[in-house]
Amino acid sequence: MKKRKVSWHFAVLILLILAYFAVFSYFTVQRYNAYVPAAYDLGVWTQTLWNAAHGNGFVNSIEFLPHFGLHVNLILIPFVPLYWLFGTPVFLLMLQSAMLAIGALPLYLLAVMKLKNKIAGLVFAAVYLLYPSLHNINLFDFHAIALVIPFLLFMFYFFEKKNYRAMFMFAVLALSCKEDVALVVLFFGLYVLLIRKLRKIGVAVACLALLWLIMSFFVIIPSYGSSFELSSDNRYSKFGNTLTEVAVNVIAKPGLTLSTLFSPGFS
């Protein structure tokens, strides 16, 4: 049997990915060693995973409820055994750098597929890895929501490749990063339905997202003794006190919505 040679384009892509991982792992670990990270944010994730790895559940001494009573980051579960082995915040910082670096792969594949040019694929991958906003995400400690980026890119790539099983798998992985990712997946489903005219696929994706949104806000979060008012009051209280009020007022008060979105402190 003939061995398939790896093209130099793909070798360069791997080198770019490894370079990004090495550089940002170094900088994020150095920030941690210099006591630069926010104690609250990084403390939540490190304590939560440490407690889970030692059989105490997804809890910490910072948040006022078990973590899943505030945010549904089920993507944390597979990393619990790894955190038991490498029980340090450095592991989380390097994990985030690795996941964001991997996002260049689906972008490269998508560009090559659409443009029929491997050089163009490398350009898109390099632009992604050099994108300042991506760097800011990576340097802002660790957050489970950051892991959604490669999952969403793989989801879109496999949709374009017409590999719908893989697309749904990455949609589920994306949803596991945080409850509000359901909105992104929902609009992706609407895009597939209304723009690409694939009714069954679009409806299935949209229904998956809606089901996860309902499960997160009305089943999982309340089961830990929380409610929308408790977990999101500080951020959304100007729009109302319940999920329904907020959803209605975001549309009914466009001026308030726009001023909130473009305010410096909103995230």
**Contact in structure between 116 and 8 (CB atoms under 8 Å):** no
Residue of 185, 180, 192 whose CA lies nearest to 170? 185
CA of residue 173 relative to chain centroid, distance = 9
Residue 224 pLDDT more than 60? yes
DSSP annotation of 178 reads: -
Helices (H), the chain: 8-33, 39-53, 80-85, 89-102, 104-115, 118-129, 132-139, 148-160, 164-175, 181-190, 199-215, 221-223, 228-236, 243-252, 254-261
**Contact in structure between 250 and 239 (CB atoms under 8 Å):** yes
DSSP line for 223-236: HTT--HHHHHHHHH
Q: What is the mean pLDDT of the chain?
A: 88
Return the ∠ at Cα 50 (arms to 45 and 55), rounded to 5°: 130
Residue of 26, 29, 71, 25 whose CA lies nearest to 48? 71
CA atoms of 172 and 178, how far apart (whole Å): 11
CA atoms of 68 and 71, how far apart (whole Å): 5
Residue 38 pLDDT more than 80? no
The pTM of the full predicted model, rounded to 2 decimals, is 0.86
For position 230, what pLDDT does the model report? 42
pLDDT band at 212 (very low <50, low <70, confident <90, very high): very high
Quickly tell me which residue has 């729009």 as its tokens.
239
For position 257, what pLDDT does the model report? 76
Residue 263 pLDDT more than 90? no
Q: Which residues contact 127 (CB under 8 A, 6 or more apart)?
A: none
The stretch 118-141 carries a mean pLDDT of 94
For position 77, what pLDDT does the model report? 93
First to last CA, the chain: 54
Quickly tell me which residue has 């993507």 as its tokens.
75
Return the number of other C-beta atoms located less than 10 Å from residue 65's C-beta.
Answer: 15
For residue 64, the surrounding DSSP H or E stretch is none
pLDDT tens figures, 41-95: 888 999 999 999 999 889 988 888 888 888 899 999 999 999 898 888 999 999 9
CA atoms of 215 and 176, how far apart (whole Å): 12
Give domain limits for the chain: 8-226, 227-267
For position 174, what pLDDT does the model report? 97
Quickly tell me which residue has 């955190």 as its tokens.
83
Would you state the structure tokens that stand for residue 181, as one six-digit string? Answer: 């990712």
pLDDT band at 256 (very low <50, low <70, confident <90, very high): confident
For position 17, what pLDDT does the model report? 97
pLDDT > 90 fraction of the chain, expressed in percent and rounded: 62
Instruction: Tell me the longest C-alpha to C-alpha distance in the chain.
Output: 66
